Chains A and B, each alone.
Chain A
Amino acid sequence: MPRWGMVIDLNRCIGCRSCAVVCKIHNSLPPGTWWQRVETIGAKTHHTPVGRYPEFFEVYLPVPCQHCEDPPCAKVCPVGATWQREDGLVLVDFERCIGCRYCMTACPYGVRQFNWQSSDKNFSQAFKKLGFSQDWFADPGYRPGYPLEHRTQDGRLVFTPKRPRGVVEKCTFCVQYVDQGFAPACVRGCPGNARIFGDLDDPKSEISRVIKKQNVVRLREDLNTSPKVFYLLPEATTWRGKIIYEKLLKVMEKRV
């Protein structure tokens, strides 16, 4: 049995939010709901540098569900609707969740999203707000993304394009693709190839080799949730912007 994990290389992340958009499309997320967020560390607005002249830095931090080894959300779920599968994925059973939102209180990463109203309503509101004359897809049955329901082997509904109202959802590492041997959509959609997805238990896998060789960090390590999403820190934080730009210029001079 594999144990799925992800490495995100912050050197390679360009903060384009493609992962968030790809995720949204593939998982038919209702407008307003984001399983994946990308923000600039320290900045109030994304894509603005932080610091004082001449020392700026601009590092982007993508945050999907961390799929913790010791997930606080699964621990607090009163009905066991959120649980950790044997392969390490933390999933939500759409048919069992009672919508108490205790897990959202427990999650330190803020990745959990609630269906505050029916997802259809979200779509039609979004159409209207974007100025379309009609408020629905031309084909009424159409939803963006993976078109089928997906169940685990024991029959629990972990993905459906038509999201029920009043349940909590979150990033599943694209369980519908992973179960068929594909990498999650954000991994495949990242233009900078900043993400590596693979089996943490297999010492020969790329992800295990990267984690072994390089310095990786996890978010809120102090809470002992043991996330399975690892980050490669950008050198820029240790070098402080200025020097990086100088280095960059030298490289460019040589080219010219």
Chain B
Amino acid sequence: MARTNLNKLSKFLIFLMVIGILAFIYQSSKGLIVTNMRNSFSWGLYIATWAFFVGTAAGGLVVSSSIYLFKATQLKPVSRLATITAFMFAIGAMLILFPDIGRPDRIYNVFLHPNLTSLLPWDFLVLSSYSLVSIIYAYTLMKPDILKNRIKLPFIKLPEKEISEKEYRRLKEEAQRKAKKLAPIALPLAILIHTVTAWVLATQMARPWWHGGLLAPTFIAAALATGPAIVILFSLGLLGFDEKLAPAYRMLAKISALSSIILLFMYYNEFFVRFWWHHGEEFEPLKILFGKNLPLHAVEVLFLIGSAYLYFRYSEVPRKLVQASILLIIGIYAHRLLLLGPAYNVIPLKYPVIVGASTIEWSYPFALGEVKGDLLNPQKVFVDYWNYIPSIVEILITLGVMAAIVYIILKLAEYLPIRENA
């Protein structure tokens, strides 16, 4: 990417971050009432984004650790960037939880009184260890060049002396050795963060849309689709496209495209099983997915198929790669948003009521938790469906966090030796 474009992008990102911070201050002063979440729909855009970030983070280290575990050496030129994106998205995943919780000032309770049967403290634990491992991994990969270029780092004191060519080669070999040792730790952790994230939702019997063993595999598939796509986008922007990088892009495109196809397969496999019986709790979420949420579902499926096609067909054309990655990211994001509607709008306290010869599913309505209507325009206080559309505040805060992640990745890439000079 040209220098001026990068500067313009940075300015725009800073603008988004400032707006996001202002929106967060506004939300903190008014309370979560400014979001469109309500009692019956208790998690919204923030949690969907959290799942998306965790997936992207997991994808990053899978890319760099598979160089050593599966001997995918063609990925080497992008490995440093991949570890940086992994690190930043893991941080972002923890960051996006702050606006979601009602009392961020009490977050220390997670350390003081962790409840180990709940999966949220575990998720926090694996996410923080993952970000630690990914930053160590990134440092290990870049250490020879950091020493050679004498880049100053905070917290770490490095010797300030000229590195000879021989010493540099020795350091590189050492870095390879260490990376090889780290890879078997990094890969399982990468799988684990997204698995635990899926378990947070999949263990809930009250939510048939999530409950079950297939959620974690689909999460991993989604991670392996977005991780490479994000790496492709960043490295096309920062490293460009040349013969040395082409095999890496081809490989990443293939991983991403295959993963989205596997994702769709698992998704529709589950749907068929739910659909066949055509009644009951397992089937209810499908009615919402193919009813009110159909536009979003169409986006998800068509964009994923579109991106897979572009990735397979044009993995050598940078412009097409960018298009495919953007399609994929939107598709997976839609997939993440669809975690919510079919889960929350199927009310767990639901009974079949026999009327004449037919049965109607009757849901026990929720109290919204908001002062609604007045004497002249009475409105429903108890509802059995909540049409959740993220509020402007939610969107701005989420955009702010996204902008912060991208901005910091760009700055780190500027400061650190992300280029592999063989």
Contact = CB atoms under 8 A, between A and B. Distances in A.
Contact of A98 (B43, B102, B205): B102
Interface stretch (A110-118, A136-144, A146-154, A172-180): A110-118
B349 A98 contact: no
B32 interface: yes
A189 interface: no
B247 interface: no
A100 B371 contact: no
Contact of A32 (B200, B355, B381): B381
B349 A219 contact: yes
B159 interface: no
Secondary structure class of chain B's binding surface, majority of residues: loop
Secondary structure class of chain A's binding surface, majority of residues: loop
Contacts of B375: 129-131
Given A51-B356, A106-B204, A110-B347, A78 B365 contact: no
A63 B364 contact: yes
B102 A99 contact: yes
B364 A39 contact: yes
Contact of B118 (A33, A50, A102, A114): A102
B42 interface: yes
B349 A166 contact: no
Contacts of A39: 364-365, 382
Contacts of B344: 105
B370 interface: yes
A108 interface: yes
Interface in B328-374: 343-344, 347-349, 351, 353, 355-356, 360, 362, 364-374
Given A33-B369, A105-B206, A125-B371, A50 B102 contact: no
B237 interface: no
A8 interface: no
Interface residues of B, number: 60
B107 interface: yes
A41 B355 CA distance: 12
A80 interface: yes
B110 to A, nearest CB: 6
A46 to B, nearest CB: 8
Contacts of A113: 39, 367, 369
B73 interface: no
B38 interface: yes
B207 interface: yes
Interface of B: 30-33, 37-40, 42-43, 97, 100-104, 106-107, 109-110, 112-115, 117-121, 124, 200, 204-207, 343-344, 347-349, 351, 353, 355-356, 360, 362, 364-375, 381-382
25 contacts: A37-B365, A37-B367, A39-B365, A41-B351, A51-B356, A52-B355, A72-B206, A79-B109, A79-B114, A98-B102, A98-B104, A99-B102, A102-B118, A102-B200, A105-B42, A105-B43, A105-B207, A108-B206, A110-B39, A110-B347, A114-B42, A116-B369, A117-B30, A167-B102, A220-B349
User: What 5 pairs across the A-B complex have the smallest Cβ distances?
Assistant: A99-B102, A166-B102, A42-B353, A117-B31, A78-B120
